[in-house]
Structure 1
Amino acid sequence: MKRTFLSLFAASILLSSCNSDKCGKTEANENPFFAEFNTPYQTAPFDKIKFEHYKPAFLEGMKQETDEVLAIANSKEEPTFENTIEAYEKTGRLLSKVSNIFYGVKGFNTNDSIAKLAKELSPLLTKHSADISLNENLFKRIKTVYAKKDDLKLSVEQNTLLEKMYQGFVRSGANFDADNKAKLREIDGKLAILTMKYGDNVLAETNAFELVIDKKADLAGLPESVIGAAAEKATAAGKDGKWMFGLDKPSMLPFLQYSDMRNLREKLYMGYVNRGNNNNEFDNKEIAKEIVNLRLERAKLFGFKNHAAYILDRNMAKTPEKALELLNKLWDKTLPNAKKEAVELQKMINKEGGKFKLASWDWWYYSDKVKKAKYALDENELRPYFEINNVRDGAFALANKLYGIKFIQRNDIAKFHEDCQTWEVQEADGTHIGIFYLDYHPRASKRGGAWMDSFRKQSGTGTDNEVSPVIMNICNLTKPVGDGPALLSPDEVTTVFHEFGHALHGFLSKCRYNTLSGTSVSRDFVELPSQVMENWCFEPEMLAIYAKHYKTGEVIPAKLVEKIQAAGKFNQGFVTLEYLAASLLDMKYHTLTEPLTEDVMTFEKNYFDKMGLISEIYPRYRSTYFNHIFAGGYSAGYYAYIWAGVLDSDAFQAFKETSLFDKATAKSFRDNVLSKGGTEDPMVLYKRFRGAEPSIEPLLNKRGLN
């Protein structure tokens, strides 16, 4: 299908709160959505968009798309690629326009009014989407064109569009009888509401937790920068003179890493891992179970034995068995490493006279101690060299070295929040590519994590109607403290490069059709362009470009670079195992062939006991706060990060075999991967770049798992 409103997770902005007497009653000539945006590159006029503009734009957008679709479906002309496939591809522009902005707002600047409107819109959008996908006349025309595709002289991209459109309709129930169509509508309606509720609950639980410290002695072990950030967080919450820590990772992880107060580490970490599992109004246990069972019921309607089989049928992996083969192979190699790491941490506890067994909330604290002892590497030595603007400029410099593109800051483009930055992306010759919004720091109105999304995707290559992309990177990185700059951890540096890689996938797209452009690829391929960028972060040649002391401008010393390189494989047992545990949990839920009857926490515990997961490690995401699979688009797809890890490690080898910034290799990657979007089979694209299918060995070597 061209789109589905069950998976709209673009970022959103709330620019004014709703007046009950005005909400949904704005005049058309006052609503900026009802005209072309009269702004640089038709970027959204965030300074003019008001809350009351959204609902009328949604309603009008649905009406317009319905009229457009009916005109195609009821046409008396013989169905052709142009009057049916291309015509349908062009429908719904207003609805996409308002959806991308509104659901953008919900992601990074939500509030009660936005959340309430999203819930009100959910059944309307679900019905609207189903009305299109289940329109018999429309599908009949698409099916007619599909039946004669071998006789049509279509380009590769046109053929892919036809194939994906036809399969999208089939996978949306177009071939169902009336009873099954009604059943599908019912299931999809329930899923739309449940997945939204699940994500809202996680955000509410995250925001509700506070670890407030009022005794200075309880700050033992914490660096001054962490203490300062906690004081500012407390002041912002109306708790002057105290220190506050929350469950956003820039607040939580430094506390777990440095705090000497074991009881407080436990309180904070258990607050994190028990989100959605507190038997309150935000509890997600029953919601997760219902989502799992509805997805199974839905998959069986389509003739698949489980939800994973339905999802992976369109991914690189093709089958759950293929994905599980990789996950289990890596699990078997990783678990022994994680156990060795646990023994090493326990030795450090014993050496310091601790009379307790290592627990999950101890891992960051003692792994930091072991790292310092083994490599003389203190993360606080590194942070001054990772000032956030320098890291950003380093990512920009890498793109320039590889692809020749450049980034120009634009202060004439309206921002969606005061924290936001706006940039224009250009080719080396100054040709406009797109507009880039950056929003790096956490706030209560922003959901956790980091992501890339588009206000507008690229399309129209080779036509007179080229559309340039407008893309955002949204993160939750360490905030500045006082008058100082934001100084990032190595993990946060990696996040900046990762999300920037997604953005490049969107910017460097050269596709004709919006449906296929940019990141519109299978879940287990979409992480290749992002993860490959991580490989450059800590290479000495790259560090020399951007890792400069924020006070002196001194390039990071060679001795620190050597320590980074030496410690590169440290703690990879833990990092890989917690990820694999979450990936396997996702697959376990979605390979069920019978409805889940037991409590999800019992199901989770029994599964990990069977798998042998050690008690000192929790999965990266547990059943009640696993937004990727229960509120996002990664159900039966969280394995994609490690699948793409095989691809990105192998792809980076192409540069290691030539040179780190080899322009010929970069051009091949741009031409054969980044520019192609979803216009061809991803393995075909990868082999065209690399000359062969990827090898798993580079990944095993990088993580020290072989």
Structure 2
Amino acid sequence: MIENNPLLSKTNLPAFSKIRPEHVAEAVRYCISKCRETVERVVAEHSDNPTWDNVVEPVEQASGELGKVWGIVSHLNNVISSDELRCQHDAMLPELSEYSSWEGQHEGLYQCYKNIYDNTVLPPFSKRALDFFIKSFELSGIALRDAEKKRFNELKSRLSNVTSAYANNVLDATNSWYFHTENKDELRGLPDSAQELARQEASGRGLSGYVITLQFPSYLPVMKYAESRELRFKCYEAYVTRASALGPDHGKFNNDENMREELSIKKEMAQMLGFKNYAERSLVLKMASSTDEVMSFLETLVVKSHAQGGLEMRELEDFAKSEGFSEKLEPWDILFYSEKLKEAKYSINDEVIRPYFPLPQVLQGLFRLVNEIFGLSIKQSIDVDVWHKDVSFYDIYDSDGKKRGSFYLDPYSRDKKQGGAWMDSCTDRKVDRSGSVTLPVAYIVTNFMPPIGDKPALLNHYEVETLFHEFGHALQHLLTTVDIESLAGINNVPWDAVETPSQFMENFTWNSEVLAMISGHIETGEILPADLLCKMIEAKNFQSAMGMLRQLEFASFDFRLYRDYDQNTDIHSLLNEIRRDIAVVPAVSFNRFENSFSHIFSGGYSAGYYSYLWAEVLSSDCFSRFEEEGILNPETGKMFMDSVLAEGGSRDFMEIFESFRGRKPSVEALLRHCGISNNSTER
């Protein structure tokens, strides 16, 4: 019965413990039917005199209900996937695509929106929202002829299946491989925490000894610390061939065809809309104005980073030789010798740092930080229904004690959970015509090493940065003051600006005052000692140019692939060409990174991976104002909160940036924060 379906509950928070796979189809179909009925009704009743209240609001309310239900289903499929849930999730994709196409090409609704936009005096936010709605119609093919619409919709439906299949293959390929040994000597060099995790993993599988998986908390320590080059190679090979014909599963989860089909579909759809390629189409709602501007931006950073990156790589090769390594440095050697070099130069490594960052202490310090600079208070709520025992829930209040929103935190890696880290919306902020406010709710998901035994999870500094990063996204979602759902939080923020708050927050993790807040030794409670802090800061930009070049390699591959793809393009050859031009780290012929590059094939970053670097320019420049006026300056914090964090998609993001910074962005702060000299030479 519909009234008993927990996905359709009117409560702001989902009843996760009650949701079952069999609820999915009923709830989604009910919402689609309600959306159709609403569209047909408002067009029939109000096409002669459409207004925001009688057309836009009821349609957006129905669409919001569908979006919330599908958001819950997609979220659960990402964090507690099962065969049954995946089956139900994937079965709904064609129906959702068909409805989206029907609404996006509904001539009567489009004309109502156009009529309101052209003939009504509207508040600025409403006008801007309508502008986005009208662009959405145009990008959905409203202007196409009937035969073209049919083809466009077929492609759109197929695309949703292909992107889902790509993501499923990456998850399944990651989960299918593991290395089992009963010989502890094979794990020589691994920190105690990594060895204990491997023992815990084996025990969970009913095995004796140790198990290494391709989950990042298991995989990364092997690449950094395992003295067995054979083990490093074995894990590396399995990791970089995931979801490819060369994978250890003998091609069972091969994404080759999914990539080709997705690229072909997106190009054809873009050209049907009048664009030369998908990269050009992707920029319609971004800050960057042209494909040439994006490529020029990336090339500028390559030029500024390449010489220093080459020096860093040569330093690593020389160091490996000094350690008695006489062979060619291969990719499975890079992290191992990099970690040794960092320790030799700065007397520091991740495992020395990790005991100072128990997750509870980091969270407590993070909450204290946002209290000092933004006046926010964060309180945990215990009696909230969650999807897994490791999930916690928090409410966030402003300086006046007014609740602004809430968030779930799902911190640990586990089977059947997508890798990586992300923030997503559970509920968006909106205000209905009666003045009733729906407060925003966020999901924050990471994949940290889980607690071992009775000790809390211990984070390395990169993981601390990751937590701050995702929390930055959540702050923009939760602190929005925009009343229109489609402009609130991260909605309709340009994709190449949406990483600004997240990357901004990362900067605090390198500040001594903040590190004193977020650190506390697992055994003694001692904050990070001054000597370790100094070493950490000295090592902050270790191999930073190599890291920058790696991001430029990914971004250039993504953008050129979606700009230049045709049926003759060899995806792997294009990646190798870009590596030869940009990378300073050696590549190997069997690396099939592209087959698990989920960001650009199933994660929304198609022709948009450059956004991380684009937004890092903005975030570094924003943070430089805090450096000038005081890292914990509450006045500066309030200005940042009231502009970048609060205004969502309600204004052009460059205007928002300039209102905070007082000028246009400069790349100088990014280069300074990364320790990359600006005295570059042309290559």
Q: TM-score, length-normalised on structure 2?
A: 0.95
List per-residue Cα deviations over 1:66-117 (Å, max 9, x = no partner): 1011112222441223323333322234322311211110111111111111
Opposite residue 272 of structure 1, the aligned amino acid is Y
User: What corresponds to 2:464 in structure 1?
Assistant: 493
List per-residue Cα deviations over 1:481-503 (Å, max 9, x = no partner): 12222111111010000000011
Whole-Å Cα distance in 2 between the matches of residues 171 and 407 of structure 1? 40
- Change in CA separation of 1:368 and 1:639 when aligned onto 2, cut-off 3 Å: same
Opposite residue 663 of structure 1, the aligned amino acid is P
SS at match of 1:434: strand
Given candidates 326, 331, 350, the residue that maps to 1:379 is 350
- When structure 1 is superposed on structure 2, of 70-79 and 626-635 the one drifting more is 70-79
List per-residue Cα deviations over 1:112-136 (Å, max 9, x = no partner): 1111112211101100111101111
Whole-Å Cα distance in 2 between the matches of residues 659 and 366 of structure 1? 38
Opposite residue 513 of structure 1, the aligned amino acid is I
Given candidates 162, 181, 188, the residue that maps to 2:130 is 162
Task: Report how far residue 55 of structure 1 moved.
Answer: 1.4
Opposite residue 459 of structure 2, the aligned amino acid is L
Task: Report how far residue 344 of structure 1 moved.
Answer: 1.4
Whole-Å Cα distance in 2 between the matches of residues 628 and 550 of structure 1? 35
* Alignment pair present for 1:251 and 2:251: no
Contact 2:481/2:646 (8 A) holds in 1: yes
Task: Report how far residue 277 of structure 1 moved.
Answer: 1.4
List per-residue Cα deviations over 1:625-655 (Å, max 9, x = no partner): 1111101111110111110110011000110
Q: Provide structure 2 residue ranges, at least 5 long, that are not aligned to the other structure.
A: 678-683
What pairs up with 1:589-604 in 2 under 5 angstroms? 589-592=561-564, 595-604=566-575
Task: Report how far residue 35 of structure 1 moved.
Answer: 4.1
Whole-Å Cα distance in 1 between the matches of residues 90 and 397 of structure 2? 39
Whole-Å Cα distance in 1 between the matches of residues 549 and 410 of structure 2? 30
SS at match of 1:275: coil
* Alignment pair present for 1:565 and 2:537: yes
Opposite residue 91 of structure 2, the aligned amino acid is E
User: What corresponds to 1:264 in structure 2?
Assistant: 231
User: What corresponds to 2:479 in structure 1?
Assistant: 508
Aligned residues: 671
Q: Provide structure 1 residue ranges, at least 5 long, that are not aligned to the other structure.
A: 1-26
SS at match of 2:189: coil
SS at match of 1:417: coil
* Alignment pair present for 1:112 and 2:83: yes
User: What corresponds to 1:331 in structure 2?
Assistant: 302
Contact 1:529/1:674 (8 A) holds in 2: yes
What pairs up with 1:422-441 in 2 under 5 angstroms? 422-441=393-412
Contact 2:495/2:611 (8 A) holds in 1: yes
Whole-Å Cα distance in 2 between the matches of residues 116 and 328 of structure 1? 43
- Change in CA separation of 1:617 and 1:435 when aligned onto 2, cut-off 3 Å: farther
User: What corresponds to 1:289 in structure 2?
Assistant: 260
SS at match of 1:535: helix
User: What corresponds to 2:680 in structure 1?
Assistant: none
- Change in CA separation of 1:462 and 1:429 when aligned onto 2, cut-off 3 Å: farther
Task: Report how far residue 618 of structure 1 moved.
Answer: 10
Q: TM-score, length-normalised on structure 1?
A: 0.92
List per-residue Cα deviations over 1:485-528 (Å, max 9, x = no partner): 21111110100000000111111011111111101111111100
User: What corresponds to 1:534 in structure 2?
Assistant: 506
User: What corresponds to 1:236 in structure 2?
Assistant: 204
What pairs up with 1:223-622 in 2 under 5 angstroms? 223-240=191-208, 242-278=209-245, 280-460=251-431, 464-520=435-491, 521-592=493-564, 595-611=566-582, 614-615=585-586, 622=593
Contact 1:156/1:680 (8 A) holds in 2: no
Whole-Å Cα distance in 2 between the matches of residues 477 and 618 of structure 1? 31
Whole-Å Cα distance in 2 between the matches of residues 269 and 393 of structure 1? 36
Contact 2:189/2:227 (8 A) holds in 1: yes
Contact 1:309/1:319 (8 A) holds in 2: yes
* Alignment pair present for 1:189 and 2:157: yes
Contact 1:258/1:365 (8 A) holds in 2: yes
Whole-Å Cα distance in 2 between the matches of residues 230 and 614 of structure 1? 29
Task: Report how far residue 548 of structure 1 moved.
Answer: 1.1
Query: Superposition RMSD on alpha carbons, in Å?
Result: 1.8
SS at match of 1:623: helix
Task: Report how far residue 622 of structure 1 moved.
Answer: 2.5
Whole-Å Cα distance in 1 between the matches of residues 112 and 167 of structure 2? 38
List per-residue Cα deviations over 1:442-477 (Å, max 9, x = no partner): 111110100001111111189612110111100001
Opposite residue 73 of structure 1, the aligned amino acid is V
Task: Report how far residue 431 of structure 1 moved.
Answer: 1.8
Opposite residue 3 of structure 2, the aligned amino acid is N
- Change in CA separation of 1:607 and 1:544 when aligned onto 2, cut-off 3 Å: closer
List per-residue Cα deviations over 1:299-340 (Å, max 9, x = no partner): 111111110110112101121211111111111222222222
Opposite residue 258 of structure 1, the aligned amino acid is Y
Task: Report how far residue 602 of structure 1 moved.
Answer: 2.8
SS at match of 1:383: helix
What pairs up with 1:680-699 in 2 under 5 angstroms? 680-699=651-670
SS at match of 1:449: coil
User: What corresponds to 1:87 in structure 2?
Assistant: 58
